[in-house]
Structure 1
Amino acid sequence: MARSYGSSGGSSSNYNYNWPYPEGNIDSPVDKFIAFVSRSIRSLIRFWRERGRRMTVAFLLSTARQIRRNLTYNRLFSIPHLLVGIWIIVLLWGERWAFHSQVESCHWSNWEHWSPGAEPHRVALVADPQLIDPHSYPGRPWPIQSLTILLTDNYLRRSYRQLQQQLDPDSVFFLGDLFDGGREWKTAHGEFKDPEWGPHPKSEQKYLKKWNKKYGEFYWLKEYARFGDIFFNPWVKAGSAPGAEHKRRKMIASLPGNHDLGFGSEIKVPVRNRFETYFGEGNRVDVVGNHTFVSVDTVSMSAASSGEADRHDLRPIYKPTEHFLNQAKWLKQKAVEKELRFQRGEVPEVQFQHKIEDLEKADFKDKPKFADNAPELPTVLLTHVPLYRPPGTPCGPLREKYPPTKPPKGQTGPVIPDHRNAISVSRGYQYQNVLDEQASADLVKKVGNVVHAFSGDDHDYCEVKHSEAQGSVPEITVKSISMAMGVNRPGFLLVSLWNPLDAEGKPLNPTNQPTLQTHLCILPSQLSTYIRYITLAILSILVLAGRAFLVPLLKLKPFALEPEQNTGGSFGSILPVFKAKVDDYDEYSLPSAGFSASHSRGGSVSSKSGHNHQHHGNGSRKGHKGSGSGKWAWAGGPGPGRSRGSPRIEIRSEREEEMETLYNGGKWKPAAAASKVNKGVVGVFTTELWTTVWRTLWMVIGFFAWLQWKG
């Protein structure tokens, strides 16, 4: 009978494939898209009804069986899982506990030496976080670039989080280079072209078109949010902790670096305007811990001493900093007076008197102003670019790159010059390692009363005392806090300030002790951490290889599970290991020599009925012609049809059969059989090694990925 598929059958199984357009009139792209979606939905529903449900149930059952097979005592407490436990401890140390331990060793009480009862103001100086971006490694492919950004961000996040949680500084100052490519990302307003005297180097020329097209204002804002997630959020969280409400906390990140703006004559004013819009003025005065902190935008200031200043108008670049320095002493007095008024409980800002006067009698010269005789507090100078020093000026023993040269016998002072231990006095595209000599002297003089200077840019620690022309100012160049800035052990600097004052601002320190103490806090070496991971990985492979080698030799319990047998046609999944054959089988007829059947995968079924595989029974079954000639030819048992020596069906592995074939009756078989067994040993070794390595690998990588995701 022919089957009809017409549309008039009325059957619920008939589908209208032109729905929702019965006539098939699909004209517009929207109609075509709706028709495509409807067909796709019907196909999915049909697949789910016909096969999808069964496949899902089968998958869930198979997964449940695998989980049950794995959740056994021997597998849970095995060498691969023991190695996973060791890896978890090592990863927790390298990614978490090492940061806690290193920062904990820098606790204030471990190095502060103030008189009893002192309540110092504690400051953390953070230099050159220099967030990795497409400018950092422009040639790296996407996966490696993204992984680099993730790892370096997590290093910064963990370090700074421990800084806030354990040390809880009152104030935090960043010393520039917040971003690596901040100067490269196009602004929304203003001219962004390179000046004719400062084009990009040839190594970056091929990336300019891509950078200008892909990375603009919106990308810079995302980088700003990224910086806030790493540094602002932990600071805000630490300030909201119980007991921190009474503290006067301050975080200042407005000091720009050459990677944020550029350097000197090559700075683009729109880039600086954007930076200052979101971070604040680069030139500023802050009174912190009864010390005056003066931050100076020295990357812009350096445009005045550039060789291009005589040929081009660079005043928009350097004039703001020049104007600030000319007013620096007055701005310092103003800031000190405001601070003292606050400490006395007065309104910090001066106010006009509230009175009514006749316009003809009003004195317009009588304006409220701060006192001109405000006390001078010790001044701390903050600059991204270090002050000038003669080439080869040693940086001291805390510099990581090269330790100081050992002085000759009889010399007590350091070797000068010591170029390996010094900051190189050099310049290049968008950078200069130190300020010009005259600019440094003018800077110290205009700021005035500088008791200490702190800088960044170099990425490594450097401690020097400058010449008399620069006020004999001691300066510390702070280490970079990032793991990607060329130093093995990043760090940050802790500064403790103690300068008690009376209500008028006079110092209450009769012994004239120094009011400032510093301590370099070293962070974990990420290179050492990765070397530790590599070493443990090699040891893990060796341990698993040794175990896999011993499994076939010592007949240890394998870690690799045997594949599940098909219960529909597999002896191995139905039959027990041993079972006595005691029943008669009239419907089967096998040769009198015995029964043997090989299993296709994991073993064999064999039966033996004596030494010669033939026995003569004491009786015969009905219809048989004698012992040994019946269907089974099994004899020796009482009664007809019953065998006294019942056969055994034995399920044995291929490995056991191979060993029996190789060694029988105390004699070893020829080399061909030995070769077969050796192949079995290699197979077991390979399977065990792969299974245990894979089990350890995915669990360790999964835990490491989780740690990175959590930050």
Structure 2
Amino acid sequence: MTSHYSSGYGPASHHRPQRHIDHDSSFFDDCLGFLAKSTRSFWSFWTARGRHMAFQSSVNMLRQLRHNLSWRRLLSLPHLLVVIWMIILLWGERWVYHTKVESCHWSSWEKWPPGAQPHRLILVADPQLIDPHSYPGRPWPLNPLTYMVVDNYLRRSYYQLQEQLRPDTVFFLGDLFDGGREWKTAQGDFKDPEWGQHPKSEQQYVKQWNKKYGHDYWLQEYERFEDIFLDPWIEAGDAAGPGQSGRKLIASLPGNHDLGFGAEIKLPVRNRFEAFFGDGNRVDVIGNHTFVSVDTVSLSARSSEHASQHDLEAIYYPTKVFLDEVQTTKRRAVEKELRHLRGETEGVLLNHTIEETGKVKLNKPPALDPGPGKAELPSILLTHVPLYRPPGTPCGPMREHWPPTKPSKGQEGPVIPDHRNAISVSGGYQYQNVLNEGDSVDLIKKIGNVVHAFSGDDHDYCELKHDARQGNVPEITVKSISMAMGVPTPGFLMVSLYNPVDGEGKSLLSEETPTLQTHLCLLPRIGGVFGRYVTFGLFGIVLLAVRACLVPVLKLERFAFDEHEESHKTGSVLPVFKAKIEDYDEYAMAGVAGFSASRFMHGSHGQSRGRSGSGAASASTGGKKKQYKDKDAHRSKWGWGGRGPPKIEIRSDEDEYSTGGKWRPASRGSKKTTLQVVLTEMWTTTWRVAWMVVLFWVWLARRG
């Protein structure tokens, strides 16, 4: 009979039961073990040295707090600079906006007859909220800081506009966003047209934009626009000026940064914009004037070079239809306004009559349109893109970027052409500086009775009068309200309208009397504000440097916290002498009665106390006196001197510099120098001023 067995290494070992390892339980046990070990280590450190270190740190903090709250320190030069800095920051971040807008008050420039009740309107151009499209190459910390600074500039300027001027109507002239056309829509085809190529500086970011910034991001930008511009308008209330029916804010006119330009416009982008802001083509009767807003960025697709090769009708068709029917739309709007002024029902009245079916006239239903021949209110054109003008047409003396060229001696009138002072007649990807001549002529002709035109897009001010083909219409291109649009001094345009009419819409003023007055209101020049910050900052640094140099010379009180100096004033917390531990143990083992705990704590050097201690030891030990004499001699040999336990003196390096707050020369061998004192004072005072000023600026910035 053969016996089968296994030693655990042979084939039979597979019958051995396998041990199941619970990996989750093992990981949990390891975590508990690590936590327990960490807790024990912390407790050991706490009981040994941690609590003493915490106590000492608390004592030092209380000392420094008491030191900082002393009147002499609170009224010192660094804190005086902080107070001055706060006043300068309040001026630069708050008061300067109030002062600038206050200087533009309506009463300071309006020239209407006594008793007039004008309608007061403000045109805001190109706020162009910056976003990832604005500075795509900037690093992370700088971009959010730029957003905050620019948004605060817009918010503060617009808040003062609403708070002090309280316009009856506010029109935005397009480019509400900077990259609105780049953010993907929730619905529709967002592909770029085959002829639309981003500039080289943007091509590397297009895929990232399409992936990261979509409809949700655009909604956040919309809320940001509301926070900056809509909320202050709501806070100002709905009470209009004397004789006015109500207040309005109209922001439906699109710009090329909102939709794109011409053939590059994507229909889903325009549909989204109009869903939130309204139709870009509209007619409003305001202050007895007819304002006609035209989506000229879409209209420009009609005259695009790609129109002959591709079907672009879907882009320009709504604006084309609007212009074809604008005369009728104007008459309806005017008739509705006149009915309101006469106290009549503004809508269409239908007679309640019974008629035979065969006699009902369905071809001419009742309508608000009274038909041609009725009185017409003056029309004002609003367009984002300026109207056409010949190249080199000067923009006048109020254009900031390039003032007009001085005329030669004996020449009357401006220099023409003046290309530096003019708006460039050119274009590129998703922009065109002026409309095509044909579109401009068509606009003026179809709208009719245009007495003035206002536009945006250029960011700087431009005022001119067009030629006869464009009806000799005067046009003002409005400055951008943003500090980030390349124009040093932002602004907005104030328009005062006064056109009293009778019940039929005929003006009560003479034909030569203007019904419109304008005023350019300039906002703070941010470069000047920051320049004052830099100037005072450099002055403060020089002042602190002079003070730091005078501290050791005139023995002034130091601003830098000196823990040792404070201990002299308040009494030391820890002993300044320490017995050497080996000798202390030797004396304790020998039973020396004269070595007391008090002597250990205070480290006495007095000879009389040393002798009495030695006598006490002699009385108790008898024959061991000689032994102790030998040990005393041994200690004297090593410089410890005298009898009793050796002592190690604990000193601060700064003991050589100050005693009781009084200055004295450094002793030989000290590591401190006058230069180190000056540098310490300079660093301490500069850091104190810097962090307090920065925190105050951050607080102002966070509050908007």
TM-score normalised to the size of structure 1?
A: 0.81
In structure 2, C-alpha distance between the alignment counterparts of 1:442 and 1:34, rounded to whole Å: 83
In structure 2, C-alpha distance between the alignment counterparts of 1:42 and 1:592, rounded to whole Å: 49
Deviations 1:511-558 (A, max 9, x none): 641000000000111111111111111111111111101101111110
Structure 2 residue 542 is matched with structure 1 residue 491 = no
Give 1:601's match in structure 2, choosing from 627, 636, 652. 652
Give 2:178's match in structure 1, choosing from 147, 169, 180. 180
Counterpart residue number, 2:635: none
Amino acid at match of 2:142: I
Give 1:569's match in structure 2, choosing from 575, 578, 581. 575
Shift of residue 599, structure 1, vs aligned partner: 4.6
Amino acid at match of 2:508: L
**Identity percentage over the alignment?**
59
The question of whether the paired residues in 1 share the 8 Å contact of 2:240 and 2:247 is answered with no
In structure 1, C-alpha distance between the alignment counterparts of 2:290 and 2:389, rounded to whole Å: 24
Counterpart residue number, 2:67: 69
Shift of residue 59, structure 1, vs aligned partner: 6.3
What RMSD in Å do the two structures reach over aligned CA positions?
3.5
SS in 1 for 2:382: strand
Structure 2 residue 679 is matched with structure 1 residue 658 = no
Counterpart residue number, 2:230: 232
In structure 2, C-alpha distance between the alignment counterparts of 1:199 and 1:604, rounded to whole Å: 74
In structure 1, C-alpha distance between the alignment counterparts of 2:33 and 2:233, rounded to whole Å: 53
In structure 1, C-alpha distance between the alignment counterparts of 2:148 and 2:495, rounded to whole Å: 30
Give 2:187's match in structure 1, choosing from 167, 186, 189. 189
Query: Could you say if the C-alpha distance between residues 381 and 37 of structure 1 is closer, same or farther in structure 2, counting changes exceeding 3 Å?
Result: farther
The question of whether the paired residues in 2 share the 8 Å contact of 1:402 and 1:421 is answered with yes
Amino acid at match of 1:79: L
Shift of residue 358, structure 1, vs aligned partner: 5.2
Deviations 1:560-587 (A, max 9, x none): 1102657223379x9xxxxx99996355
Q: Which segment is superposed worse, 96-105 or 498-507?
A: 498-507
SS in 1 for 2:268: helix
SS in 2 for 1:239: coil
Matches within 5 A, 1:241-640: 248-357=246-355, 359=357, 362-365=360-363, 367-370=365-368, 371-372=370-371, 373-510=373-510, 512-563=512-563, 567-570=573-576, 585-586=609-610, 599-602=650-653
SS in 1 for 2:204: helix
In structure 2, C-alpha distance between the alignment counterparts of 1:495 and 1:33, rounded to whole Å: 74
Structure 2 residue 115 is matched with structure 1 residue 117 = yes
Structure with more helix by fraction: 2
Structure 1 spans left out of the alignment, 5+ residues: 1-23, 575-579, 606-649, 662-672
Counterpart residue number, 1:682: 675
Amino acid at match of 1:225: E
Counterpart residue number, 2:127: 129
Counterpart residue number, 1:96: 94
Counterpart residue number, 2:617: none
In structure 2, C-alpha distance between the alignment counterparts of 1:689 and 1:360, rounded to whole Å: 101
In structure 1, C-alpha distance between the alignment counterparts of 2:168 and 2:552, rounded to whole Å: 65
The question of whether the paired residues in 1 share the 8 Å contact of 2:119 and 2:241 is answered with no
The question of whether the paired residues in 2 share the 8 Å contact of 1:192 and 1:268 is answered with yes
Amino acid at match of 1:682: L
SS in 2 for 1:67: helix
The question of whether the paired residues in 2 share the 8 Å contact of 1:544 and 1:689 is answered with yes
Deviations 1:219-263 (A, max 9, x none): 001000001100000001112579999851010101010111111
SS in 2 for 1:177: coil
The question of whether the paired residues in 2 share the 8 Å contact of 1:300 and 1:321 is answered with yes
Amino acid at match of 1:437: E
Amino acid at match of 1:454: F
In structure 1, C-alpha distance between the alignment counterparts of 2:329 and 2:519, rounded to whole Å: 29
SS in 1 for 2:420: helix
Counterpart residue number, 2:687: 694
Deviations 1:319-360 (A, max 9, x none): 110000001111100111111112222222213334455545
Deviations 1:2-44 (A, max 9, x none): xxxxxxxxxxxxxxxxxxxxxx997779x97999799979988
The question of whether the paired residues in 1 share the 8 Å contact of 2:496 and 2:516 is answered with yes
Shift of residue 654, structure 1, vs aligned partner: 11
Shift of residue 191, structure 1, vs aligned partner: 1.0
In structure 1, C-alpha distance between the alignment counterparts of 2:374 and 2:92, rounded to whole Å: 51
SS in 1 for 2:483: coil
Query: Could you say if the C-alpha distance between residues 320 and 553 of structure 1 is closer, same or farther in structure 2, counting changes exceeding 3 Å?
Result: same
Shift of residue 64, structure 1, vs aligned partner: 3.9
Counterpart residue number, 2:154: 156
Q: Which segment is superposed worse, 296-305 or 64-73?
A: 64-73
**What is the aligned length?**
621
In structure 2, C-alpha distance between the alignment counterparts of 1:571 and 1:560, rounded to whole Å: 27
Structure 2 spans left out of the alignment, 5+ residues: 1-19, 579-597, 599-603, 615-639
The question of whether the paired residues in 1 share the 8 Å contact of 2:238 and 2:247 is answered with no
Query: Could you say if the C-alpha distance between residues 658 and 50 of structure 1 is closer, same or farther in structure 2, counting changes exceeding 3 Å?
Result: closer
In structure 2, C-alpha distance between the alignment counterparts of 1:592 and 1:46, rounded to whole Å: 44
Query: Could you say if the C-alpha distance between residues 686 and 393 of structure 1 is closer, same or farther in structure 2, counting changes exceeding 3 Å?
Result: same
Shift of residue 388, structure 1, vs aligned partner: 0.6
Counterpart residue number, 1:645: none
In structure 1, C-alpha distance between the alignment counterparts of 2:347 and 2:111, rounded to whole Å: 35
SS in 2 for 1:381: strand
The question of whether the paired residues in 2 share the 8 Å contact of 1:122 and 1:497 is answered with yes
SS in 2 for 1:420: coil
In structure 1, C-alpha distance between the alignment counterparts of 2:191 and 2:202, rounded to whole Å: 14
The question of whether the paired residues in 2 share the 8 Å contact of 1:258 and 1:299 is answered with yes
Query: Could you say if the C-alpha distance between residues 364 and 266 of structure 1 is closer, same or farther in structure 2, counting changes exceeding 3 Å?
Result: same
In structure 2, C-alpha distance between the alignment counterparts of 1:47 and 1:460, rounded to whole Å: 66
Amino acid at match of 2:574: G
Amino acid at match of 1:140: R
In structure 1, C-alpha distance between the alignment counterparts of 2:349 and 2:28, rounded to whole Å: 70
The question of whether the paired residues in 1 share the 8 Å contact of 2:259 and 2:266 is answered with yes
In structure 1, C-alpha distance between the alignment counterparts of 2:352 and 2:24, rounded to whole Å: 75
Shift of residue 495, structure 1, vs aligned partner: 0.2
In structure 1, C-alpha distance between the alignment counterparts of 2:28 and 2:332, rounded to whole Å: 70
The question of whether the paired residues in 2 share the 8 Å contact of 1:194 and 1:200 is answered with no
In structure 1, C-alpha distance between the alignment counterparts of 2:561 and 2:293, rounded to whole Å: 67
In structure 1, C-alpha distance between the alignment counterparts of 2:174 and 2:43, rounded to whole Å: 60
SS in 1 for 2:540: helix
TM-score normalised to the size of structure 2?
A: 0.82
Deviations 1:401-458 (A, max 9, x none): 1111111111220011111111111111111000111111111111111000000000
The question of whether the paired residues in 2 share the 8 Å contact of 1:177 and 1:260 is answered with yes
Query: Could you say if the C-alpha distance between residues 240 and 447 of structure 1 is closer, same or farther in structure 2, counting changes exceeding 3 Å?
Result: closer
In structure 1, C-alpha distance between the alignment counterparts of 2:167 and 2:458, rounded to whole Å: 24
The question of whether the paired residues in 1 share the 8 Å contact of 2:117 and 2:243 is answered with no
Counterpart residue number, 2:594: none
Shift of residue 96, structure 1, vs aligned partner: 0.7
SS in 2 for 1:439: helix
The question of whether the paired residues in 2 share the 8 Å contact of 1:336 and 1:375 is answered with no
SS in 2 for 1:422: coil
Query: Could you say if the C-alpha distance between residues 60 and 130 of structure 1 is closer, same or farther in structure 2, counting changes exceeding 3 Å?
Result: farther
Amino acid at match of 1:177: D
Amino acid at match of 1:502: D
Shift of residue 65, structure 1, vs aligned partner: 3.5
Query: Could you say if the C-alpha distance between residues 41 and 271 of structure 1 is closer, same or farther in structure 2, counting changes exceeding 3 Å?
Result: farther
In structure 1, C-alpha distance between the alignment counterparts of 2:335 and 2:88, rounded to whole Å: 54
In structure 2, C-alpha distance between the alignment counterparts of 1:283 and 1:120, rounded to whole Å: 26
